[in-house]
């Protein structure tokens, strides 16, 4: 980190501690040239959000992957691409508002399902069948009941 006083590039870290409830790290540094002391904060960038998969593996959040999953659910439906993009945007907005740096895949699935339901019920059921990993026809029927029941 460049020294704010003399511009030297090298410093030593005197102290590191968690800040903002563990969401950032505060480092006290000392310039190796002039011994000036300064403080830096490190934060995880929002676009480096991590998805925790069902089996516990972690992977970088991918907008493309999310958009791909949502688009597949809308395959051959009459919903315009722009409307699907809006759904993807709204899902990402909600994830980012949650202020998390790691989010379970199941939670992303639920947020996406909530966004899809008011737009297209068939797409909703398709998406749900992938995200909830339906194991039998009964689970399928229950979700369909919920969708149809919700209309009453
Ligand atoms: Zn310096």
Q: Taking a C-beta distance cutoff of 8 angstroms, is the pair 127, 69 a contact?
A: yes
Same domain, 57 and 37: no
Task: Enumerate long-range contacts of 124-131, CB under 8 Å, 24 or more apart.
Answer: 124/73, 126/72, 126/73, 126/75, 127/69, 127/70, 127/73, 130/69, 130/72, 130/73, 131/69, 131/106
Same domain, 124 and 79: yes
Q: Which residue has the higher pLDDT, 137 or 118?
A: 118
d(CA 69, CA 126): 10
Mean pLDDT over 68-75 rounds to: 93
Specify if 3 maps to a domain.
no
**Sequence-ordered strand ranges (E) for 53-106:** 58-60, 102-104
User: Is residue 10 pLDDT above 80, yes or no?
Assistant: yes
User: Is residue 57 pLDDT above 90, yes or no?
Assistant: yes
Same domain, 78 and 111: yes
User: Is residue 152 pLDDT above 50, yes or no?
Assistant: no
Cα(29) to centroid of ligand 1, in Å? 10
Q: The whole model's pTM is what? A: 0.63
Same domain, 112 and 90: yes
User: Is residue 120 pLDDT above 80, yes or no?
Assistant: yes
Going across the sheet that includes 50-52, the strands are 58-60, 50-52, 102-104
Same domain, 85 and 20: no
Cα(10) to centroid of ligand 1, in Å? 8
Same domain, 96 and 77: yes
Mean pLDDT over 144-150 rounds to: 76
Same domain, 94 and 27: no
**What 3-state DSSP class applies to 26?**
strand
How many domains, in total, are found in the chain?
2
Specify if 73 maps to a domain.
yes
Percent of residues, the chain, with pLDDT higher than 70: 95
Same domain, 37 and 77: no
Specify if 2 maps to a domain.
no
User: Is residue 56 pLDDT above 50, yes or no?
Assistant: yes
Cα(26) to centroid of ligand 1, in Å? 19
d(CA 143, CA 152): 15
Same domain, 33 and 83: no
Residue-number span of the structural domain to which 31 is assigned = 11-43
């Amino acid at each position: 980190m460049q020294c704010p006083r003399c511009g030297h590039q090298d410093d030593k870290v005197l102290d590191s501690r968690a800040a903002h409830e563990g969401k950032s790290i505060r480092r006290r540094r000392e310039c190796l040239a002039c011994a000036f002391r300064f403080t830096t904060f490190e934060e995880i960038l929002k676009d480096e959000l991590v998805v925790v998969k069902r089996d516990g593996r972690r992977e970088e959040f991918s907008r493309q992957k999310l958009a791909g999953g949502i688009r597949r659910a809308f395959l051959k439906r009459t919903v315009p691409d722009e409307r699907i993009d809006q759904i993807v945007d709204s899902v990402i907005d909600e994830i980012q508002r949650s202020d998390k740096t790691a989010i379970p895949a199941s939670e992303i699935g639920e947020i996406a399902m909530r966004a899809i339901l008011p737009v297209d019920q068939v797409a909703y059921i398709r998406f749900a069948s992938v995200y909830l990993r339906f194991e039998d026809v009964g689970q399928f029927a229950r979700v369909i009941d919920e969708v149809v029941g919700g209309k009453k």
